[in-house]
Amino acid sequence: MDGSNPDVDVLDGINGLAKDAPHWLNRAMEYLGEYGIIAGLAVLCLIAWWGARKRPDAPSAVAGLVWAPLAAGMALLANIPIRAVVERPRPFKDHAGLEVLIPGKSDFSFVSDHATLTMAVGVGLFIAHRKYGLIGIALALLEGFCRVYMGVHYPTDVIGGFALGTAMALLLAPVALALLVPVTTAVSRSPGWWLVRAGGPAARPVSGPVTAVPPVSHTERDEDLAA
C-alpha cells in the first residue's frame, strides 16, 4: 500500500551482502551458485546410488534415484514456455546499483533454472532416500540464496523455481516409478546387473512346466532319519 516492493527489498538486502563482502567470498559464491552446488548434487546422487545397490529392494531404490535427475530435466523443459510467457527481465536491467557477480546474462529471469533444477533433484532424492533428500533440499535452498546474492534473480524467481521443481518431482513420481521399476528390475537380471545390484544379478523367474515331486512315505522318511 505504501508503494514498497518486498521482492526488490529482499533482493537489495541479500545482494547488499555482496557489496560489503571480500572479493574471495564473492568468487566462492559465484562458483557455488553457478556450478558448485549442481556438481555437489551430482556427487550426492552417485553416493545415494552406490548405497541403494546394496539394499534388498535395490531395483525400486535405484528407480527412485533415476527419477531425481529425470524430474529435473522435465522441470527445465516445462520452464521454457513459462519464461517465454512471463518475459521478466533480469533484476539488474531494471534496478541500478546491484552487485552483479555474473554479468552478461540476457535471458529472462522468471523462473530460475538453477532453483528449479536443484529443488527437483533434492525432492526426487527425498522420495528415494530421506537423509540424502534432506541434504539435497538444503543444497537447493542454498542455491536459491546464491542466485539472489549474485544479483541475477529476484527472490520470487527462486521461489517459483522451487515450486516448479517440487511439483514436477512429486506429481509425476507415481507414474515415473511405475515405468522405471520394471526397467531397473530387468537391468538387475541382465549383464548390466551391477548398475542396480551390488551382490550379483537377480535370479530370473523360473519358466516352463514345474515337475511335481512325489510324496515321501512315512516308512521312507523313518529310514532316512535312522540313517
DSSP secondary structure, 8-38, as one string: HHHHHHHHHHHHHS-HHHHHHHHHIIIIIHH
Q: What is the mean pLDDT of residues 137-156?
A: 94
Q: Is residue 206 part of a domain?
A: no
CATH number at residue 22: 1.20.144
Question: What does pTM read for this prediction?
Answer: 0.83
Long-range contact set of residues 192-201: C-beta below 8 Å, sequence gap at least 24: 194/53, 195/53, 195/62, 196/53, 196/58, 196/59, 196/62, 197/53, 197/58, 197/59, 198/53, 198/54, 198/58, 199/54
Q: Is residue 14 part of a domain?
A: yes
Q: Which of the residue ranges 17-26, 65-74, 186-195, 207-216 would you say has the lowest mean pLDDT?
A: 207-216
**Angle of helix 173-188 relative to helix 58-86, nearest 10 degrees?**
140
**Angle of helix 37-52 relative to helix 130-149, nearest 10 degrees?**
170
Length of the chain in terms of residues written: 227
Q: Is residue 205 part of a domain?
A: no
Q: Is residue 226 part of a domain?
A: no
Q: What's the structural domain count of the chain? A: 1
Q: Is residue 89 part of a domain?
A: yes
- Model confidence band, residue 223 (pLDDT cutoffs 50, 70, 90): low
Q: Is residue 24 part of a domain?
A: yes
- Model confidence band, residue 9 (pLDDT cutoffs 50, 70, 90): confident
Q: Is residue 29 part of a domain?
A: yes
Domain that holds residue 68: 6-195
d(CA 209, CA 25): 70
Tell me: the pLDDT tens digits for 164-178? Answer: 999 999 999 999 999
- Model confidence band, residue 210 (pLDDT cutoffs 50, 70, 90): very low
Q: Report whether 141 contacts 112 (CB < 8 A).
A: no
Tell me: the pLDDT tens digits for 79-125? Answer: 999 999 988 988 888 877 888 888 778 888 899 999 999 999 999 99
Q: Is residue 70 part of a domain?
A: yes
d(CA 212, CA 106): 73
